[in-house]
């Protein structure tokens, strides 16, 4: 089964989240955790952007082994020089060049014609090849680029030496079927496409980044670019934990896997959240506090009898100890009895019924009932029932 390459860009695109800046030490800490998570590529930063970013890429390149380290560059020699220098000590360096190709960007941002864009892209890739073998080219705003022109750009940069071609949905404009058709179209139209890895990079402006990435995988993309907790510019990038767990959980459908050590997902998510100060919403898929918590009595009863009734993933697989049963007003006797057992009590039938009644009364006044409160209920009830 094919392994999809997981390219993590938490330290580059993720850091572009407004309010999520990281210092050099914090970036190194995250890079170490990403290595434990076993991502294939860490995009460590954009060295020309600031001396701090340069230093951070350079530190990560020096220390992290066994993972490709990518540095971003515009299609300009000074950017490529800076990226190459920052990557000097990397075991597996990758220079990642980007250049916008859509009509909107050509007309308003770059003021360049199509042939000038191709020339710039080809020259940049050929120049970067003087420093490293592993070159990624990103056609910025690819999803709004005319299909024939996109195919021409992709074919030209592969001929110039790009080893990965990335098709960003820079502004989160794509929808799954449309995005998948771009991947299929490139596979049909680009003669030398098999010489490079076809990669996808999706933004979440319409909440479709993960869906688009997965549709592209189904259509034949071999690398997915993503970030922990879905951090990133504006509404963020595709969330790594969601892409990875969707591929793992629905291997029957995607027929591929990743090398990610999924048990490190919770640690990775928490570290990124603490260091960036960007809290993970409770109901966030995979790593949110509620993702493995059951609240309704019917669900709790089902999960306690057989967890696959309401769980499609094992909490242990993402590094959690177990499913969380939240005791509240919707909980039934089954869940309450289990918790009492876990807390070490052995109640008679009468004691249990009294405690359950008291628990329900309290639960009407509060969102969640904690273990200490259950202990207090039982201790009081036991004292009141004559033995
Ligand atoms: O969204 C985008 O187009 C990017 C590129 C630099 C890859 O982040
Ligand atoms: Zn991006």
Position 295 scores a pLDDT of: 85
Q: Give the closest ligand to the alpha carbon of residue 145.
A: 1
Alpha-helical runs (H) found in 194-234:
209-219
- The dihedral over CA atoms of 297, 301, 303, 308, expressed in degrees to the nearest 10, equals -110
Nearest residue (CA) to ligand 1, atom 5: 140
The pick from 76, 140, 171, 200 for probing ligand 1's pocket by mutation, whose C-beta has the most ligand atoms within 8 angstroms, reads: 140
Question: 13: Cβ below 6 Å to ligand 1?
Answer: yes
Residue 1: its pLDDT value, please?
A: 87
Task: Of 150, 129, 137, 36, give the one whose Cα is nearest residue 84.
Answer: 129
Q: What is the pLDDT along the chain (387 residues), one digit of tens a residue?
A: 899 999 999 999 999 888 888 999 999 999 999 999 999 999 999 999 999 999 999 999 999 999 999 999 999 999 999 999 999 999 999 999 999 999 999 999 999 999 999 999 999 999 999 999 999 999 999 999 999 999 999 999 999 999 999 999 999 999 999 999 999 999 999 999 999 999 999 999 999 999 999 999 999 999 999 999 999 999 999 999 999 999 999 999 999 999 999 999 999 999 999 999 999 999 999 999 999 999 889 999 999 998 999 999 999 999 998 888 999 999 999 999 999 999 999 999 999 999 999 999 999 999 899 999 999 999 886 656 555
Other residues' Cβ atoms within 10 Å of the Cβ of residue 341: 11
* Residue 16: per-residue pLDDT: 87
Which pLDDT does position 383 carry in this prediction?
Answer: 55
Burial zone of 58 (CB within 10 Å; 0-12 exposed, 13-18 middle, 19+ buried): buried
Return the DSSP state at 109. I
Query: Does the CB atom of residue 46 touch ligand 1 within 6 A?
Result: no
Q: What is the pLDDT of residue 323?
A: 82
How far is the C-alpha of 210 from the C-alpha of 203, rounded, in Å?
9
Q: Tell whether ligand 1 has an atom less than 6 A from the beta carbon of residue 237.
A: no
Contact 231, 237 (CB under 8 A): yes
pTM over 0.90: yes
**Nearest protein CA to atom 8 of ligand 1, as residue:** 13
């Amino acid at each position: 089964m094919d392994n999809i390459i997981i390219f993590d860009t938490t330290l580059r695109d993720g850091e572009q989240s407004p309010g999520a800046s990281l210092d050099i030490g914090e970036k190194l800490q995250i890079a170490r955790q990403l290595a434990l998570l076993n991502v294939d590529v860490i995009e460590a930063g954009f060295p020309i952007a600031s001396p701090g970013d340069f230093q951070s890429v350079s530190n990560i390149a020096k220390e992290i082994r066994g993972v490709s380290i990518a540095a971003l560059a515009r299609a300009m020699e000074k950017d490529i020089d800076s990226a190459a220098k920052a990557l000097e000590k990397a075991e597996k360096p990758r220079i990642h060049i980007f250049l916008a190709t859509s009509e909107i960007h050509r007309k308003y941002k770059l003021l360049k014609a199509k042939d000038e864009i191709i020339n710039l892209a080809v020259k940049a890739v050929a120049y970067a090849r003087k420093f490293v073998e592993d070159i990624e080219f990103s056609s910025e705003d690819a999803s709004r680029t005319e299909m024939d022109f996109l195919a021409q750009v992709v074919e030209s940069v592969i001929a110039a030496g790009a080893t990965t071609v990335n098709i960003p949905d820079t502004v989160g404009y794509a929808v799954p079927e449309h995005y998948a058709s771009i991947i299929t179209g490139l596979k049909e139209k680009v003669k030398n496409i098999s010489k490079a890895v076809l990669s996808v990079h999706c933004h979440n402006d319409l909440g479709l980044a993960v869906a688009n990435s997965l549709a592209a995988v189904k259509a034949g993309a071999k690398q997915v670019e993503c970030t922990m907790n879905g951090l990133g510019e504006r509404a963020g990038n595709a969330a790594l934990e969601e892409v990875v767990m969707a591929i793992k959980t629905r291997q029957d459908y995607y027929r591929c896997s990743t090398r990610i050590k999924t048990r490190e997902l919770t640690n990775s998510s928490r570290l990124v959240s603490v260091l960036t100060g960007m809290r993970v919403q409770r109901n966030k898929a995979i790593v949110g506090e509620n993702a493995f918590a059951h609240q309704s009595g019917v669900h709790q009863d089902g999960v306690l009898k057989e967890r696959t009734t309401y769980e499609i993933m094992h909490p242990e697989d993402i590094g959690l100890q177990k499913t969380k049963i939240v005791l509240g007003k919707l909980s039934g006797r089954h869940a309450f009895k289990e918790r009492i057992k876990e807390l070490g009590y052995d109640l008679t039938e009468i004691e249990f019924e009294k405690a359950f009644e008291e628990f329900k009364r309290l639960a009407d006044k509060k969102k969640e009932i904690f273990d200490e409160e259950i202990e207090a209920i039982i201790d009081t009830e036991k004292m009141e029932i004559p033995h």
